[in-house]
Structure 1
Amino acid sequence: MRARRSGAPRIAILGGGIGGLAAAAFLGKEGVAATVYEQAPRLAEVGAGLVIAPNAARQLRRLGVLDAVRERAVQLDTGWEFRRWADGTILSAEDLAASCERLYGEQTYTAHRADLLAAVQSQVPADSVELGRKCVKFEAGDGVLRLTFEDGDPVEADVVIGADGVHSIVRNAIFGASPATDSGLCAFRALVPAERAPAFARRAAQTLWIGPGHHLVHYPVSAGAFVNLVAFAPAGDFTTESWTSTATVEEFLAEFDGWDERLTDLIRAGGTPARWALLDRAPLPRWSEGNVTLLGDAAHPMFPFFAQGAAQAIEDAAGLARCLAEDLENPAAALRRYEELRIPRTTRLQDVSHGRAEINHLDDGPDQQARDAAFRHQDPLVANGWIYGYDLEAEFAPAAAAKQ
């Protein structure tokens, strides 16, 4: 653990992804030291693209990294552009360029995960991150929190934050293994070099093609150098829950056989795709036990259909840092406040993300026709204002006012 001010708790964060590094960065902004333990030999976010909605952009601005993110991100002109699977008919589209900042004070961006990770990492001192530290055991007993690693000395801490993902060792040690059920869906992912992508996919737009049992999303990332492609299909007997597993281009194409040929051309241009199963987990009723808590996917794994996974990890990090900084002498109370603040919001997002698959995947017929007609009269940017307009600072305003 790195040096800390006298009397401050030793804080260990397990996991050096976006959530774990954001927790260390926000804690540092509050003047609280923490050490991140990451099993990989270098910091590199797996995956490809993500959406930085206004609620995430707001926190990145407060962290002081939004300008750095924008250097490699793409500011969206159009979002929620729904297209019909067979012919690309536009069912609805949102003019983000005209409305997003006016409504929520921030724009919406798309970015490569590695670019976002690098920006957040820039706010964490290098000596606060220990790489190649694969945790094999976490123990909480007799007032001692102990992390045991595959290599290197064990670590004792006063506070442990489990930001170690969907297969969290910390969560399993405290609350038991989180049972997962088969959602029946899997995801394919590819990055298409811009020079190989058709013009419609290079636009500053987040486009969703929806059809029977499937949907596909694409948008540019890496300052427009690539098009991120992610698609959802029936899983069959595929159950591997790993972002490093792959499929073949032929398997990917087979799922979208008969779809608009512009889309299948885009799939071909992406090369070998990744593939992983979407397993379903019920929301946890609590995240904290004593001086131990969870963050991000370790706390609230959610389907990606509202593109809020990374955003909620960043919000978690900001809220956790604020709670700990305001009650550093009583970490257990601070962590209870943190989960009380965050669980209602993340549970709601888990629920709505779960329900989106059914809406997107309707078979052609009366229900699909009614959905498409409703799209023409919906404004998702306004309808989802509870997501995008959320301001964490408002949660702390009453307490701050009472202290004045």
Structure 2
Amino acid sequence: MPATVPGPRIAIVGGGIGGLAAGAFLRRAGFTATVHEQASALTEVGAGLVMAPNAVRLLRRIGVMAQFLRRAVPLDWGWEFRRWTDGSVLSVEKLSGVCERLYGERTYVVHRADLLDSLKAAVPSEWVRLGARCTSVDVRKDVVLLRFADGSKVEADIVIGADGVHSVVRGAVTEPLPPAYSGICAFRTIVPAQAVPDFALRRAQTLWLGPGRHFVHYPVAGGQAVNVVAFAPAGDYTDESWSSTGTIEEFHAEFSDWDPRVTDLITAGGVPGRWALLDRAPLPRWSRDRVTLLGDAAHPMFPFFAQGAAQSIEDAAVLARCLAAHANDPEQGLKQYEAARIERTTRLQELSHARRDSNHLPDGPEQKARDAALAASDPLVRNGWIYGFDAEEALTS
């Protein structure tokens, strides 16, 4: 790791996956930074996520793989699509050995909190300021002034907004586009391993597809639990907070006529979280002067391609490289970062949006054509532009 030398004062707003990844990659590049997190502790709400090779190779470079592998679950069996009524298998993609051969890394599923713990290991604890809720960002001629809810102020030379879909920093960069109502809500729950049938403990990401809905499950926490997330019509439900909850009855009502294995998992999970998916168009710009955005603050996307966290990590790696390449001109570094990232993340936003429609087709000719295409496709190869991508090497190619 390069020796840390005096440099620009870098403020990262947000201590989630993107914010801590930014801290880790900036540290590797020889910078120092302060992570301002509004919560009183660095935590993530209970949910799982997929770490594909494009993100895993970057985690390896910041030296956190040993920590990561303590709780991450490799997807050996891989991706599996099933039909909603009877669980008949539409498509299976075995990943063990294939991912490594094609892309140099495996694909894993992991609890968000476990990924966050891995990233924390790469960021000095003294860099993290907790209980710091940013309320405004004032871009001045030679400095950026941050104000916080406790009345404190911080001056920074570079500000990185990693503060999520409701980003405060975004207002200093571009005119925020109001979210649109997607008409979809998500239910989520974590089910203890002892409460689920054996088939749900397999090292597979299983997606059940049905009319207007789909249901996903995979093991997390070293196989000690199963992550369940399902998507259904939202009706008039518009609460977007991940801390919101629904009821088992509401969850059951959406999937009552599905395969009993689905409804059994719903029952075993207890009270589910529930949140609305709001649709946000890609931003035309991420940076202004010495302020930039990262992760969901820059490119929030539907979770249907399982790339949200991975793209935050890619952002962090590229941002650190660009700032290091323009150490004497941070504004130019931020411009290079935006130019390097915006086309790729916009494409993923748009593809994630489109997958909502294909996943939720009603039974009929289009659904049968989709299922036939799934059976004949090889998504691991077809999506090589996602999984084979090396965000750092792309800067020099």
TM-score (norm 1): 0.96
Partner of 2:184: 185
Letter in 2 for 1:76: L
Partner of 2:218: 219
Deviations 1:242-299 (A, max 9, x none): 1000000000010001000011001100000001110001101110001100000000
Correspondence list, 1:92-131, <5 A? 92-131=91-130
Runs of 4+ deviating beyond 6 Å:
none
User: 1:88, CA displacement in angstroms?
Assistant: 0.1
Partner of 2:372: 373
User: 1:26, CA displacement in angstroms?
Assistant: 0.3
Correspondence list, 1:356-371, <5 A? 356-371=355-370
User: 1:315, CA displacement in angstroms?
Assistant: 0.3
Correspondence list, 1:329-340, <5 A? 329-340=328-339
Q: What is the CA–CA distance in structure 1 between the aligned matches of 2:40 and 2:393, rounded to whole Å?
A: 39
Correspondence list, 1:65-76, <5 A? 65-76=64-75
**Contact 2:323 2:330 (8 Å CA) reproduced:** yes
User: 1:172, CA displacement in angstroms?
Assistant: 1.8
Structure 2: segments with no counterpart, 5+ residues: none
Partner of 2:309: 310
User: 1:150, CA displacement in angstroms?
Assistant: 1.2
Q: What is the CA–CA distance in structure 1 between the aligned matches of 2:212 and 2:172, rounded to whole Å?
A: 37
Deviations 1:78-117 (A, max 9, x none): 2220000000000001010131111111001011111110
Residue 97 of structure 2 aligns to a residue in which SS? helix
Letter in 2 for 1:158: D
RMSD of equivalent CA atoms: 1.0
Partner of 1:300: 299
Residue 346 of structure 1 aligns to a residue in which SS? helix
**Contact 2:46 2:190 (8 Å CA) reproduced:** no
Deviations 1:282-329 (A, max 9, x none): 101110001100000000000000100000000000000010011111
Q: What is the CA–CA distance in structure 1 between the aligned matches of 2:45 and 2:171, rounded to whole Å?
A: 23
Correspondence list, 1:54-73, <5 A? 54-73=53-72
Q: What is the CA–CA distance in structure 1 between the aligned matches of 2:301 and 2:244, rounded to whole Å?
A: 19
Letter in 2 for 1:182: Y
Residue 244 of structure 2 aligns to a residue in which SS? coil
**Contact 1:133 1:152 (8 Å CA) reproduced:** no
Q: What is the CA–CA distance in structure 1 between the aligned matches of 2:332 and 2:140, rounded to whole Å?
A: 18
Residue 246 of structure 1 aligns to a residue in which SS? coil
Partner of 2:131: 132
User: 1:121, CA displacement in angstroms?
Assistant: 0.6
Letter in 2 for 1:178: L
Partner of 2:238: 239
Q: What is the CA–CA distance in structure 2 between the aligned matches of 1:149 and 1:384, rounded to whole Å?
A: 42
Partner of 1:402: none
Residue 23 (structure 2) pairs with residue 19 (structure 1):
no
Residue 118 of structure 1 aligns to a residue in which SS? helix
Partner of 2:352: 353
Partner of 1:290: 289
Partner of 2:202: 203
User: 1:177, CA displacement in angstroms?
Assistant: 2.8
Deviations 1:22-53 (A, max 9, x none): 10110000111111000000000124101111
**Contact 2:161 2:292 (8 Å CA) reproduced:** yes
**Contact 2:78 2:96 (8 Å CA) reproduced:** no
Deviations 1:375-395 (A, max 9, x none): 111011111111000012322
Letter in 2 for 1:130: R
Q: What is the CA–CA distance in structure 2 between the aligned matches of 1:172 and 1:365, rounded to whole Å?
A: 45
Letter in 2 for 1:120: L
Deviations 1:332-353 (A, max 9, x none): 0000000000001000000100
**Contact 1:172 1:178 (8 Å CA) reproduced:** no
Residue 164 (structure 2) pairs with residue 165 (structure 1):
yes
TM-score (norm 2): 0.98
**Contact 2:172 2:288 (8 Å CA) reproduced:** no
User: 1:152, CA displacement in angstroms?
Assistant: 5.2
**Contact 1:88 1:209 (8 Å CA) reproduced:** yes
Q: What is the CA–CA distance in structure 2 between the aligned matches of 1:368 and 1:78, rounded to whole Å?
A: 25
Partner of 1:89: 88
Q: What is the CA–CA distance in structure 2 between the aligned matches of 1:243 and 1:78, rounded to whole Å?
A: 29
Deviations 1:121-148 (A, max 9, x none): 1111111000001111111123331111
Residue 377 of structure 2 aligns to a residue in which SS? coil
Q: What is the CA–CA distance in structure 2 between the aligned matches of 1:119 and 1:397, rounded to whole Å?
A: 28
**Contact 2:295 2:312 (8 Å CA) reproduced:** yes
Report the identity percentage: 63
**Contact 2:321 2:392 (8 Å CA) reproduced:** no
Q: What is the CA–CA distance in structure 1 between the aligned matches of 2:173 and 2:51, rounded to whole Å?
A: 31
Residue 232 of structure 2 aligns to a residue in which SS? strand
Q: What is the CA–CA distance in structure 2 between the aligned matches of 1:70 and 1:122, rounded to whole Å?
A: 13
Q: What is the CA–CA distance in structure 2 between the aligned matches of 1:166 and 1:264, rounded to whole Å?
A: 31
